[in-house]
């Protein structure tokens, strides 16, 4: 499967966060309530000390399906998004983009998009603005080494067993679609 540009995934938006800097450092402003239909419910941070760490490809299903804004606030990542919405014109397509702390790029992900990343530097920190809190009962992951054939840039990696044994794309899409019907 071939990667496409993030803006080519239906509903995904790539924007630049507002930031200012001076001798004290940087101030980054992220305004998730301008994006989210129902407002911001939680913020999460992923701290990754080891370069090559893979997290994802994660998604939640209804009634805890979530919109996200992801931003790299320290270090850099190879960011991956996957459309699991069977009725979407971009269903089954994935996109990659490099996010780093200096660019200020942030990515808005609508409901029905799975997300993951690989750290490109040690001590990388990702920030998530979420429309709903994490719910283990409704949370799943897609196998990042399955049929999507993602070319992860760092070949020596660490990954949790749960993420490595994630669902196939078609099973993930079925779970998502079924949750919408219930």
| Cα–Cα distance measured from residue 177 to residue 61, given in angstroms and rounded to the nearest whole number | 9
Q: What is the DSSP letter of 53?
A: B
CB atoms inside a 10 Å sphere around CB 157: 17
Radius of gyration of the chain measured on its C-alpha atoms: 16
pLDDT > 90 in the chain, percent: 65
Q: Retrieve residue 136's tokens.
A: 């283990």
- Marked catalytic residue, from 94, 108, 115, 128: 128
For residue range 16-72, what is the model confidence (pLDDT) as tens digits?
A: 777 777 777 777 766 665 666 667 778 889 999 999 999 989 999 999 999 999 999
- Res. 5: pLDDT tops 60: no
Higher pLDDT pick, 43 / 5? 43
CATH level 3 topology of 3-181: Jelly Rolls (2.60.120)
Highest mean pLDDT among 3-12, 23-32, 37-46, 138-147: 138-147
The pLDDT value given to residue 1: 44
Q: pTM (2 decimals)?
A: 0.89
- Marked catalytic residue, from 58, 94, 108, 115: 58
For residue range 69-105, what is the model confidence (pLDDT) as tens digits?
A: 999 999 999 999 999 999 999 999 999 999 998 888 8
The pLDDT value given to residue 113: 97
Q: Which of 23-37, 105-119, 138-152 has the lowest mean pLDDT?
A: 23-37
Are 15 and 108 spatial neighbours (Cβ–Cβ below 8 Å)? yes
- Cα dist from 162 to 45, 116, 126, 139, whole Å: 19, 13, 20, 11
| Cα–Cα distance measured from residue 85 to residue 47, given in angstroms and rounded to the nearest whole number | 29
Smallest Cα–Cα separation from 97: which of 120, 68, 129? 120
Domain boundaries, the chain: 3-181
The pLDDT value given to residue 86: 92
Q: Are strands 18-22 and 105-109 parallel, antiparallel or unpaired?
A: unpaired
Residue 128 is a catalytic residue: yes
Residue 58 is a catalytic residue: yes
The pLDDT value given to residue 40: 73
Q: Are strands 94-100 and 3-4 parallel, antiparallel or unpaired?
A: parallel
The pLDDT value given to residue 9: 87
Give me the helices (H) in 32-159, please.
none
Residue with tokens 């803006």: 7
- Res. 6: pLDDT tops 80: no
The pLDDT value given to residue 165: 94
């Amino acid at each position: 499967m071939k990667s496409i540009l993030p803006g080519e995934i239906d509903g995904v938006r790539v924007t630049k966060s507002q930031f200012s800097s001076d001798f004290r450092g940087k101030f980054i402003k992220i305004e998730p309530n301008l994006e989210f239909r129902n407002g911001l419910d939680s913020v999460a941070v992923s701290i990754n000390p080891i370069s090559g760490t893979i997290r994802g490809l994660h998604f939640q299903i209804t009634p805890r399906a979530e919109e996200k804004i992801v931003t790299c606030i320290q270090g850099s990542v190879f960011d991956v998004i996957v459309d699991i919405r069977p009725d979407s014109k971009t269903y089954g397509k994935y996109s990659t983009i490099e996010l780093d702390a200096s660019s200020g790029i942030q990515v808005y992900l609508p409901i029905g998009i799975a997300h993951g990343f690989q750290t490109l530097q040690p001590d990388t920190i990702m920030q998530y603005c979420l429309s709903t809190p994490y719910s283990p009962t409704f949370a799943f992951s897609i196998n990042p080494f399955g049929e999507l054939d993602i070319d992860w840039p760092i070949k020596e990696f660490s990954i949790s067993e749960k993420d490595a044994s994630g669902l196939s794309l078609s099973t993930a899409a079925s779970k998502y679609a079924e949750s919408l019907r219930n």
